[in-house]
């Protein structure tokens, strides 16, 4: 998985298709990403005691990494990425179309 925390991505499927957001958290082992503002879910919590109130807690559920694409500012679209290996062996993620390096 080549996505990192802080990357700007666009969502390709599901309820939030077409939405852009920043990655808040990554789970590389499960290939899941949490994106700010996407895939919002509500968790309902029952009251435990009679004078307590139940609660609704909203949170952003993780999405599979295959459903998001890195957003290229220059192309203005979600793009696949390539690894660019410099002469000194340093690797950089670049846009597969316009070769612009992705920051972070
Ligand atoms: Zn590009």
- Contact (CB, 8 A) for 79 and 93: no
Tell me how far apart the alpha carbons of residues 15 and 59 are, in angstroms, rounded to a whole number: 15
41 CA to middle of ligand 1, Å? 32
80 CA to middle of ligand 1, Å? 9
Domains and CATH numbers, the chain: 8-75 (2.30.30.30)
53 CA to middle of ligand 1, Å? 50
* Tens place of pLDDT per residue across the chain (104 aa): 889 999 999 999 988 999 999 999 999 999 999 999 999 999 998 888 888 888 999 999 999 999 999 999 888 888 888 888 988 988 889 999 898 888 75
93 CA to middle of ligand 1, Å? 11
């Amino acid at each position: 998985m080549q996505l990192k925390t802080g990357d700007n991505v666009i969502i390709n499927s599901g309820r939030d298709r077409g939405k852009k957001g920043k990655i808040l958290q990554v789970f590389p082992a499960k290939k899941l990403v949490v994106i700010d503002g996407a895939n919002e879910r509500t968790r309902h919590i029952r009251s435990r005691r009679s004078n307590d109130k139940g609660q609704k807690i909203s949170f952003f559920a993780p999405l599979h990494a295959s459903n998001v694409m890195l957003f290229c500012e220059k192309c203005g679209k979600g793009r696949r990425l390539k690894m660019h290996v410099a002469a000194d062996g340093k690797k950089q993620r670049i846009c597969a179309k316009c070769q612009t390096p992705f920051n972070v």
